[in-house]
Structure 1
Amino acid sequence: MLHFPLWKRVLIWALCALGILFAMPNLFYERVESHNDAVKSLEAGQSGPELESAAARWPDWMPATIINLGLDLRGGAHLLAEVQMEDVYASRLDAMWPEVRDLLREERETVGTIRRQDGAADELRVRISTPDNIQAAVQAVRGMAQPVSSLSGVGQMNIEVSADGDEVVVRLTDAERVATQNRTIQQSLEIIRRRVDEVGTREPTIQRQGTDRILIQVPGIGSAEELKSLIGTTARLTFHPVVRRTDNAEAAPGARNALYPSMDQEGTYYVVEQTPVVTGEELTDAQPAFDQNGRPAVNFRFDPTGARKFGNYTAENIGSPFAIVLDEEVISAPVIQDHIPGGSGIITGNFTVEESTELAVLLRAGALPAEMVFLEERTIGPELGQDSIEAGRIASLVAFAGVLVFMAASYGLFGLFANLALLTNVALIFGLLSAIGATLTLPGIAGIVLTIGMAVDANVLVFERIREELKTAKGPSRAIDLGYEKAFSAILDANITTFIAAVILFAMGSGPVRGFAVTLGLGIMTSVFTALFVTRLFVIMWFERRRPKTIAV
C-alpha cells in the first residue's frame, strides 16, 4: 500500500524548502551582489553610509550566496602567460654562489684563490688558481648536492658538478629542472590566485596549460590591461649592499654587480652587488602605513630566516648604505644607523596612498618566481555576456515549456505532478550551485537544459510501469506501488551511468567542460530525488485525499 511515514515527508519537504531558499537570492542577483560586496568592505574596515545602505538591501537571516557568472556570461579578461623558466634556473644557480664560495674558501690551501667566471645562464663557473687540484675542488662542491625533493626525482641529486680545465662547473640535473619547473608553476598559480582574490574579483579561472603556461580568466574585470597591470607586476623585493652611487646611466657596474636607477631621484643610479642579502620571498607580512613625516609607506616583516640574515648584515655594516630594490629600481638606499634585530622595517618612497596599498598587496601575496610573457590576451565585454545570458534563458525556457506541455499532454494529472517536481528540480539545481559557490558558464547552461530533458525520464519510466500494472486488473494503489518499485532499478542504472560520465568529464576536463560536468552531475542527483520522492509524495497526497477507485495515467 502507498505509505510515506511522517518523518520521511518532513525530510522531503525540508530539503525542497532549503533548496528553494538557497536558490532565491539568484532572483535578486544585483541586489545580493551589492550586499555581499558591501559586507566584505565593512569587514575589511571600510565605512560609509553608502556601504551600510548597500549592506542593508538584503536580510541578514537569508542566504546570500549566489551563482557566480563565468567569463562568457559576465565579460572580463582572458590571459595566456608563459613562465620564463630559464630565468628561474639562472636564479637558482646564482643563489648557490655564496655557498660555493664559502666552501672553496675553506679549501684554500688546496685549491688556491677562487674567482667566479661568466658563463651560460644555466651553469655556475668558478676558476681556481691551482688547476692540478681541480678534482679536489669538484669533490668539495659535490658535497653540496641534495636529493631532489619530488616523487619523480627519487634517488637523484639536484646538481651535477664537473671540471672544465681550471674551472668548476655546476649545473642543475634534469630531475631538478623538472622539479623546479613544477614548483615554479604551482607557486605562480598560488601567487596569481592570491593577488586576484585580494583585489575583490570573483571566481577566477587560473590553471596550468602544458608545461610552462598559465591560463588566467577573471570575470567582471574591466580589461586585459587592467589584469596585466596586477598580475604582470613581478613585485620582486630585494635588499642589496651598495657599491657606489653615480649619475652615469652607462656606467660599468663591474663583475657580479648591477646598475639600478633610483625610483625617486631622476638621473641617479646605484651600483649594487648582484646577489641580494635577503629577498621578498622571506617576507611574512606587508601593510600600507605612513612614515614619521606622514607620507605613504609600507611596513614589512621577515620570517625567522630572513630576520636573522637582515639582523646579521645590519650589525656588521653599520654606516654603510643599503639599497631596497623593487623590480630592479632602487626605492631607497638608507644608511644603516644601527643593528636591526627584529626583522622588520619600513619602505618609504614617492608613493601615493593607492600605490602603497597596491605594493603591500603585491608583497603580501609574494613575488612571482619568474617573469611571465603574455602570449594571448582578450577582453570580453559585458554586452556579449548579456547576449549569452539571453540566449541561454531562451533555450532554457523553450526546453522547459516543451517538457511541461509534453508531460501534461501524455500523462494528464500525473504529468502535472511531474511538472511540479520538475520546477522543484530546477530550484534545487540552482540552490546547490549557489551553496557550493559554483561558476555558471554557457556550457553549464547547456548542462541545465540537458538536465531538464533528462529529469522527466524517471517519471516516464514510472508512469509507463503504472500503466502496465493497471492493465493486469490490479487496484490503483497497488499499481502505483509496483510502478515505483519495478522502475527503480532501471532509473538507478540509467542515472548512475550518466553520473559516471559526468565525473569523468569533471576529472579529465578543464574550464567549460568542468562547468558542464558540474551542472549535469548535480542535475542527475536532483532529478532522481524529485522523481522518486517528490513526485511520489505528490501522488500519495492526492491519493490519500481523493481515494479514487480507478486512475488514468
Structure 2
Amino acid sequence: MLQIPLWKRVVILGVVLLGVLYAMPNAFYSRVEAHNDAAAAIEAAGATPEREAAASAWPDVLPSSLVNLGLDLRGGAHLLAEVQVDQVYAARLDSLWPDVRDALREVRDEVGTIRRVDTEDGTLRVRISQAGGMAAALETVRALSQPVGTLTGGTQSTLDVSGSGDTITVQLSEAERAATDDRTMRQSLEIIRRRIDEVGTREPTIQRQGEDRILIQVPGIGSAEELKALIGTTAQLTFLPVVGQAASAEADAGPGNIIHPSLDEEGVFYILERSPVVTGEDLTDAQPAFDQNGRPSVTFRFGPSGARAFGQYTAENVGNPFAIVLDEEVISAPVIREAIPGGSGQITGNFTVEDSTQLAVLLRAGALPAEMTFLEERTIGPELGQDSIEAGRIACIVAGIAVLLFMALSYGWFGILANVALMLNVAMIFGILSAIGATLTLPGIAGIVLTIGMAVDANVLVFERIREELKTARGPARAIELGYERAQSAIVDANITTFITATILFLMGSGPVRGFAITLGVGILTSIFTAIFVTRLLIVFWFERRRPKTIEV
C-alpha cells in the first residue's frame, strides 16, 4: 500500500524546512548583509549605537548566511598582477652575505681581508686580498650550498660559485631559481588571500596565471585603486643597524650599506647596514594600539628565534640607534636604552587610527616576497551587476513559468503538486548555496535555470510510469506506489551521469566554469530529493485525505 513511515515524513519535512530557512535571508539581502557587517564590526572594534541598530535589523535566531554574489553580479575590482620574482634573488644573496663573510673569516690566513663589492646584476661578489687563496675560498663558499631537487629526480646545488682573479662571484643556480620562483608565487598567493580576507571582503578569486602572474577579482570593493592600495604594498618590515646620516639619497653609503629616507622627517636620510637584525618574517602578531601619549601606534611581537636575535642585538648595542624600516622608508630610528629580551615592541609615527589598523593588517598577513606590477585593472560598477541580476531573474521567471504551465496542463493536479515541489527545490538550492558560502555568478544562474528545466524530468518519468500502471487495472494506491518504485532506477541513472559531468567541470575548470558546476551539482541533488521524496509525500498527504477511487494523471 501507499504508505510512508512517520519518522521518514518528519525527516523529509525537516530537510525541506531547513532548506527554506537557510534560503530565506536571500529574500532580504540588503538587510541581512548590513546585519552581518555590523556584527563583524562589533566583534572586531566594539559596539556603537549605529552598529547595534544595524545588527538588530535581522533576528539572531534565524540563519544569516547569504549567497555571495560574484564580480559579474555585484561589481568590484579586477587586477592582473605580475610578480617581480627577480627581486627575490637579490634578497636571497643579501641574506647569504653574513654567512659567506663568517665562513671566509675562518680561512683568513689564506684569503686575507674580505670585502663585498656592490653589483647591479643580481650576484654576490666578494673580493679577497690574497688571490693565491682563491681555491680555499671557493671550497669554503661552496660548502654553504645545499642540494635542491629537480623535476627530473636529480639534485643540484643551490649556489653557483666561481672565481676570477681576486673576486668570488656567487649566484643562485638555475634549479634554485626555479624553486624560488615557485615558492615566491605560492607565498604571494597566500599573503594576498590573507590580506583580502582579513579586511572583510567576500569570496575573492585569487589564481595563478602562467609563470609569474596572479589574477585577483574581489566583489563588492569600491575600485581597483582601493584594491591596489591594499595588496600592492609589500609591507617589508626590517630592523637595521644605523651607521649614520646622509645629506641625500645619492650620497656614498659605503660597502655593505644602503640609504633610506625618513618617513616623518623631510630631507633626512639614514645610512643603514644592508643585513637586517630581524625582519617582518619573524613577527608572530601585530595589533593597532596607542602609545603613552595617546597617539596611534602598532605593537608587535616576535617568535622565539626573532626574539632571541632582537634581544641579543639590543643587549650588545645599548646606546646605539637602530632603524625600523617599512618598504624602504625609516619609520623611526630610536636609541636603544636597554636590552629588550621579551621580543615585543611598539612602532610609532605620524599614524592615524586607520593607518595603524591597516599597517597591523599588513604585518600580520606577512610581507609580499616581491613587488607586483599591475598589467591590467578594471572596476566593474554595481549598475552593470544589477543589470545582470535582473537579466538572470527574468530568465529564471520565464523558465519557471513555462515549466509550471507545462506540468499543470500535462498532468493536472499531480502536475500542480510537482510545481510546489519545484519551488521548494529552488529554495533548497539557495539554502545549500548559502550554507556552504558559495558564490553565485552569471554562469551559476545559468546552472539554476538549467536545473529548473531538468527538475521536472524525474516527475515526468514517475507520472508516465503511473499512467502505465493504471492501464493494468490496478488500484490508484498500488499504481502510485509501483510508479515510484519502477521509475526510481531510471531517475537515479539519468541524474548520476549529469552529476559526474558537473563534478568533472568543477575539478578541471576554474572561475565561471566552477560556478556553473556547483549550482548544477547542487540542483541535481535537490531535484532527486524533491522528486523521489517531497513530491511523493505531497501525493500521499492528498491521497490520505481524499481517498479517491480513481485518479487521472
| TM-score range relative to shorter protein | over 0.9
For residue 336 of structure 1, report the CA deviation from its aligned partner: 1.7
TM alignment of 1:213-228, pairs within 5 A? 213-228=213-228
Partner deviation per Cα, 1:267-326 (whole Å, 9 max, x = no partner): 111111122121111111112222222222211111111111111211222222211111
Partner AA of 1:295 in structure 2: R
Q: C-alpha distance in 2, partners of 1:202/1:150? A: 38
Correspondence 1:372 to 2:372: yes
Matches for 1:105-504 after TM superposition, within 5 Å: 105-119=105-119, 121-148=121-148, 155-504=155-504
Identical residues among aligned pairs (%): 72
Distance 1:405 1:150 in 2: 63
Distance in 1, matches of 2:115 and 2:179, equals 30
| Displacement after TM superposition at 1:157 (Å) | 3.7
The SS at the match of 1:44 is helix
Letter in 2 for 1:433: L
Using the TM superposition, give the Cα deviation of residue 440 of structure 1 relative to its aligned residue in structure 2, in angstroms: 0.9
Partner SS for 1:451: helix
- Once the two structures are TM-superposed, the CA of residue 152 in structure 1 deviates from its matched residue by 7.8
Separation in structure 1 between the aligned mates of residue 527 and residue 57 of structure 2, nearest angstrom: 33
Following superposition, the deviation at residue 153 of structure 1 comes to 6.7
CA-to-aligned-CA distance 1:426-462 (integer Å, 9 cap, x gap): 0100000010111111111111001101111111111
Q: Which moved more, 1:173-182 or 1:66-75?
A: 173-182
Query: Where does structure 2 lack aligned partners over 5 or more consecutive residues?
Result: none
Which deviates further from its counterpart, 506-515 or 147-156?
Answer: 147-156
In 2: Cα distance, 1:328 partner to 1:121 partner:
20
Q: How has the CA–CA distance of structure 1 residues 471 and 156 changed in structure 2, closer, same or farther, with 3 Å as cutoff?
A: farther
- Residues 506-532 of structure 1 show CA distances to partners (whole Å, capped at 9, x for unaligned) of 111111111111111100000011011
CA contact (8 A) 2:392 2:442 kept: yes
- Assess if the C-alpha contact under 8 Å between 1:245 and 1:269 holds in 2: yes
- Listed one character per residue, the Cα deviations across residues 174-200 of structure 1 (whole Å, up to 9, x for unaligned) are 332232222222221221122212222
1:417 aligned counterpart, secondary structure = helix
Measured at CA, do residues 61 and 153 of structure 1 come closer, stay the same or move farther in structure 2, by a change above 3 Å?
farther
Counterpart-to-counterpart distance in 1, 2:519 and 2:149: 39
- Structure 1 residues 385 and 528: CA distance shift in structure 2, 3 A: same
Asked if 2 retains the 8 angstrom alpha-carbon contact of 1:249 and 1:267, the reply is: no
List aligned pairs for 1:34-49, cutoff 5 A.
Answer: 34-49=34-49
Whole-angstrom CA distance in 2 between matches of 1:211 and 1:106: 41
Counterpart of 2:94 in structure 1 is 94
Range 50-59 or range 170-179, more displaced? 170-179
Quote the offset at 1:541 in angstroms: 2.0
Give the whole-Å Cα distance in 2 for the aligned partners of 1:263 and 1:120.
Answer: 26
> Cα RMSD over matched residues?
1.8
Q: 1:8 corresponds to which letter in structure 2? A: K
What aligned pairs does 1:520-539 form with structure 2 within 5 A after superposition? Answer: 520-539=520-539
- 1:27 Cα deviation from its structure 2 partner: 0.8
Secondary structure of 1:148's counterpart equals: strand
> Relative to 1, partners in 2 of residues 1:106 and 1:451: Cα closer, same or farther, differing over 3 Å?
same
Q: Which amino acid aligns with 1:176?
A: E
C-alpha spacing 1:36/1:338, structure 2 compared with 1 (3 Å): same
Indicate the SS of the match to 1:369: coil
Q: What is the CA–CA distance in structure 1 between the aligned matches of 2:393 and 2:331, rounded to whole Å?
A: 53
* Contact 2:450/2:520 (<8 A) preserved: yes
Local SS of the residue matching 1:543: helix
CA contact (8 A) 1:153 1:176 kept: no
- In 2, distance between residues paired with 1:369 and 1:395? 46
Distance in 2, matches of 1:253 and 1:153, equals 45
Instruction: Note if contact 1:285-1:364 (Cα within 8 Å) is conserved in structure 2.
Output: yes
- CA-CA distance at 1:31 after TM superposition: 0.9
Divergent runs of 4+, >6 A: 149-154
Cα 1:255–1:153 change in 2 (3 A) is farther
Q: CA deviation at 1:120?
A: 5.5
Deviation at 1:329, TM superposition (A): 0.9
* CA contact 2:150–2:156 (8 Å) conserved in 1: no
Give me the whole-angstrom Cα distance separating, in 2, the residues matched to 1:126 and 1:172. 15
SS in 1 for 2:148: coil
Query: Is the CA contact 1:153–1:175 (under 8 Å) kept in the aligned structure 2?
Result: no
Contact 2:84–2:373 under 8 Å retained in 1? yes
Q: Is the 8 A contact 2:94 2:274 kept in 1?
A: no
CA contact under 8 A between 1:79 and 1:215: conserved in structure 2?
Answer: yes
Distance 1:212 1:259 in 2: 29
Match of 2:45, SS state, is: coil
Q: How many residues align?
A: 553
Q: Name the SS for the 1:355 alignment partner.
A: helix
Corresponding position of 1:52: 52
Quickly say closer, same or farther: Cα 1:119–1:45, change in 2 above 3 A.
closer
What CA deviation, in whole Å up to 9, does each residue of 1:317-361 have, x standing for no partner?
222221111111111111222221111111111222221222112
